[in-house]
Amino acid sequence: MRPAGNGQRGPVDHERREQILGAANEHFRHYGYKKTTVADLAKAIGLSTAYIYKFFDSKRAIGEEICRQCHDRVMTDIEGVVRSGKPASERLRLIFLTLARDGIDLLFNDRKMHDIVLAALEEGWSTATDFDAELLLHVRSVIADGRETGEFERKTPLEEACRGVVLALQPVRHPVLLEFNHNTLVEDASLLAGLVLRSLSA
Amino acid sequence: MRPAGNGQRGPVDHERREQILGAANEHFRHYGYKKTTVADLAKAIGLSTAYIYKFFDSKRAIGEEICRQCHDRVMTDIEGVVRSGKPASERLRLIFLTLARDGIDLLFNDRKMHDIVLAALEEGWSTATDFDAELLLHVRSVIADGRETGEFERKTPLEEACRGVVLALQPVRHPVLLEFNHNTLVEDASLLAGLVLRSLSA
DNA sequence: CAAGTGACGTGTTCCATATAACGTCACTCA
DNA sequence: TGAGTGACGTTATATGGAACACGTCACTTG
């Protein structure tokens, strides 16, 4: 079966994995997820198609990994905001703006990458729900902070407030809506942030 | 050219138009917009394809009319809420819930009709933006009422508040998001309404 | 002249089939 | 023995030609 039991499929040889992911990153970025074949990736690193499957269960598994990297990049930005030490309201506003900007960035500067995010949504990859969960965590921590410092009101149940905020983020986040709204997206993000902050303020 | 100058294409004979629209309504509902042909409509009323074009410029024009009727039905519900004489906050909450429910209704009870709404969005029919504009009007009137009665705060510029609320409505309104979220839609609408009301409250 | 149509050019959509991609397995060979 | 592959069955996608839909126009008929 699988050459080794190190959690991932594949041998201890962690390097090959990275090689494959590197090739995937380039190819997905240039040609999009659907249009690059596993054979393309194999050729890029000078090995056979079959060998790829020693390291990944499927093309989709490669896609998920790359998708996760995409999400991680955005999430890193969000974490930077969360940890910035600014007032909670400011951090929350920045979360809105950051998501909007990163969304636009992904959509325009990396248009081909964008289609992997869509695939993830359409085919229900776990990366999408993972991202949601992580985002909710960050939002909750900022709101909780704000409540502790007295910046935010404390009457509304915390969970309810958090879920509301995450919902309100949707128009700024969802790739499909981005396509329709990108021209006013940052403005929209700012408006929504204003509304959300008013709803939270003590 | 056109047989008469009564604003619409077509003769004074207003009846034929209604006949065509009636057939369109049925066919679009049963088979969807894309799958019904102009010939189908013609056959349904026992006339020739060519004759349809005496009354409508195009198939799309028929679609837009039907789409407008769909939107009108929803808008009537909204108007009912707006005129209900209830407190502004209650009316605003009901707007959220009504849109959610009507959206679900259109999506599930009238699945085939739903595809005309999508076509409208994708192809940029005016009906979609008309609906948005009208919705904004209603939201503004409710918010203005609430400000007059002292229910809502008055610091935030009215336009900003309105646009924020309409944006926050998006997750409940947009057909594409409905597909993803329908299972929790009414709940989501309620959460968002709560958030919005907190943001507006005096 | 007003109501209504057949036939046609042009652009789409289907559909069958050829081609290619996915993923597996038994295998090689240093 | 473990890095690496060729060949293959199955599923998905590309392709191109036939059928069909849209919309126009000259035309018939009462």
Asked if the model's pLDDT at residue B174 lies above 50, the reply is: yes
Interchain contact, B177 vs A180, CB within 8 Å: no
Q: How confident is the model at residue B11 (pLDDT cuts 50, 70, 90)?
A: very low
The CATH code of the domain at A65-200 is 1.10.357
Residues B118 and A19: their CA atoms lie apart, in Å, by 42
Q: How many of the other CB atoms lie within 10 Å of CB of B193?
A: 24
Say if CB B174 and CB B118 are below 8 A apart: no
Which residues, 6 or more positions from A72, have their beta carbon under 8 angstroms from its beta carbon?
none
Bases in strand C with any atom closer than 7 Å to a protein CB: 2-7, 13-14, 20-26
Compute the average pLDDT of residues B96-120. 88
Residue limits of CATH 1.10.10.60 in chain A: 14-57
Is the domain spanning B14-57 CATH 1.10.10.60? The answer is yes
Which residues, 6 or more positions from B171, have their beta carbon under 8 angstroms from its beta carbon?
A167, A168, A170, A171, B177, B181, B188, B192
Structure confidence by residue, pLDDT tens digits, B36-70: 999 999 999 999 999 999 999 999 999 999 999 99
Quote the crossing angle between the two packed helices B185-200 and A158-173, to the nearest 10°.
100
Interchain contact, A164 vs B195, CB within 8 Å: yes
Q: Where are the alpha helices (DSSP H) in chain B?
A: 14-31, 38-44, 49-52, 59-82, 88-108, 111-122, 126-148, 158-173, 175-181, 185-200
The nearest CA of chain B is from the CA of A186 a distance in Å of: 13
Residues B177 and A179: their CA atoms lie apart, in Å, by 13
> What's the token pair of residue A45?
């690193």
A196 contacts on B by Cβ (under 8 Å): 195, 199
How open is the CA angle A25-A29-A30, to the nearest 5 degrees?
120
B184 touches chain A (CB under 8 A): no
Quote the crossing angle between the two packed helices A14-31 and A59-82, to the nearest 10°.
90
pLDDT (tens digit, 0 to 9) for every residue of chain A, 202 residues total?
333 333 344 344 688 899 999 999 999 999 999 999 999 999 999 999 999 999 999 999 999 999 999 999 999 999 999 999 999 999 999 999 999 999 888 888 888 888 888 888 888 899 989 999 999 999 999 999 999 999 999 999 999 999 999 999 999 988 777 777 777 899 999 999 999 999 999 7
pLDDT of residue B9: 41
A194 touches chain B (CB under 8 A): yes
Residue limits of CATH 1.10.357 in chain A: 65-200
Residues A194 and A158: their CA atoms lie apart, in Å, by 19
Which residues, 6 or more positions from B144, have their beta carbon under 8 angstroms from its beta carbon?
B158
The nearest CA of chain B is from the CA of A26 a distance in Å of: 30
A188 contacts on B by Cβ (under 8 Å): 167
CATH class of B61-200: mainly alpha
The closest of B96, B70, B82 to B195, measured between CA atoms, is B96
Q: Across A32-184, where does the E strand assignment appear?
A: none
Global ipTM: 0.84
Structure confidence by residue, pLDDT tens digits, B126-169: 998 999 999 999 999 999 999 999 999 999 999 999 999 999 99
- Residue A94: what are its φ and ψ, rounded to 5°? -65, -30
pLDDT of residue A13: 67
Residues B41 and B45: their CA atoms lie apart, in Å, by 7
Of the ranges A96-105, A181-190, B113-122, B171-180, which is most confident? A96-105
Residues A2 and A68: their CA atoms lie apart, in Å, by 24
Q: How close are the terminal C-alpha atoms of chain B, in Å?
A: 59
Asked if the model's pLDDT at residue B13 lies above 80, the reply is: no
pLDDT of residue A109: 83
Taking the C1' atom of every nucleotide in all shown strands and the CA of B53, the nearest one is D23
Q: How many of the other CB atoms lie within 10 Å of CB of B113?
A: 21
Name A152's bridge partners: A201
B156 touches chain A (CB under 8 A): yes
